[in-house]
Amino acid sequence: MTRRTPLTRPVGTVTRGTTNPNRLRRMDRWIAAVHGGPIRRDQDGTAVDLGYGAAPWTAVELLTRLRTVRPDARVVGIEIDPARVEAARPYERDGLVFAHGGFEVPLPDRARPVLIRAANVLRQYEEAEVRAVWEQLCARLAPEGLLVEGTCDEIGRRHVWVALGPEGARSVTFATRLGSLQQPSDLSERLPKALIHRNVPGERVHAFLKDFDRAWAAAAPFASLGARQRWIRTVHALKADWPVVDGPGRWRQGEVTVRWEALAPRGG
């Protein structure tokens, strides 16, 4: 892939750059499992790791995981800090390059990626700025493309992300290492920027997490069978009142995905 130098200043601001190996494994595995079809069908299978941080681990790992569903998948790691891009150059290889840029997503010939992953990027922005960033990124997607934007803890035990297509937001996924979970609302601290300030009475996401905790408490007898069985029973109960869009195969991974409209900010 030929590198392209942006003609204008990159859009966005430099993040803290904190990253750790294997931090985004839950998000990556979900992408490969749920979005594998569009990745395989795309013309060239280009994905973007946007704002990968001070070290390139997440971009390297994304390529490895995408190649389980498409052997010729390609990843472009994009960073707004030129020094981080130069530091990542030694890790380039077949299918993996690094580029200087931001939310404009500079790719050769304005190529349209089938995936943009933006993890732990928008936390430092104001909530009012999120929708414009989403719209800018979604406008860069291929027709079957996916934007995944969310937040996780430092070692990837707890993660919440929004999945968006060219038309806008589709769903919210909660993912966790079940052995470390006390109650589902523990995930609230990892809500993406569009939702984290909405975890207050009167907002949908707050009501959802309250119901999630109640269902978890009601499923306590299943704890003797393990945290996974308790989680599965909890989500089964939750599905009666909330539009859960995935099934037991994903629940077993410590995940649950809900339609965006059910959790979207009121008046937003």
Say yes or no to pLDDT of 15 above 70. Answer: no
- Indicate the range of 24-33, 103-112, 143-152, 173-182 predicted with least confidence: 103-112
> CA end-to-end span of the chain, whole Å?
39
> Cβ contacts of residue 111 below 8 Å, gap of 6+?
44, 46
The pLDDT-based confidence of 3 (bands split at 50, 70, 90) is very low
Q: How many Å apart are CA 94 and CA 72, to the nearest integer?
A: 9
Say yes or no to pLDDT of 1 above 70. Answer: no
Q: What is the pLDDT of residues 210-224, one digit of tens each?
A: 999 999 999 999 999
| Cα angle 23, 220, 256; round to 5 | 40
The pLDDT-based confidence of 81 (bands split at 50, 70, 90) is very high
If you classify domain 25-178+243-260 with CATH, what class do you get? alpha beta
Q: Look at residue 215 in the predicted model and tell me its pLDDT.
A: 98
Mean pLDDT score, 186-196 = 97
Say yes or no to pLDDT of 18 above 80. Answer: no
Q: Look at residue 6 in the predicted model and tell me its pLDDT.
A: 43
Q: Please state, in angstroms and as integers, the Cα–Cα distance from residue 128 to each residue in 131, 195, 197, 203, 242, following that order.
A: 7, 11, 11, 16, 26
Q: What is the percent of the chain where pLDDT is above 90?
A: 89
- CA nearest 115: which of 192, 244, 24, 196? 24
Greater confidence (15 vs 110) lies with 110
Q: What is the DSSP letter of 24?
A: T
Mean pLDDT score, 133-149 = 97
The pLDDT-based confidence of 9 (bands split at 50, 70, 90) is confident
DSSP 3-state of 31? helix
The pLDDT-based confidence of 266 (bands split at 50, 70, 90) is very high
> Cβ contacts of residue 79 below 8 Å, gap of 6+?
51, 52, 53, 85, 88, 98, 99, 100, 101
Domain spans, the chain: 25-178+243-260
Greater confidence (10 vs 211) lies with 211
Q: How many Å apart are CA 88 and CA 98, to the nearest integer?
A: 7
Say yes or no to pLDDT of 38 above 90. Answer: yes
> Cβ contacts of residue 197 below 8 Å, gap of 6+?
127
The pLDDT-based confidence of 21 (bands split at 50, 70, 90) is confident
- CA nearest 52: which of 62, 42, 44, 43? 62
The pLDDT-based confidence of 2 (bands split at 50, 70, 90) is very low
Q: Look at residue 14 in the predicted model and tell me its pLDDT.
A: 63
Mean pLDDT score, 28-53 = 96
pTM to 2 decimals?
A: 0.93
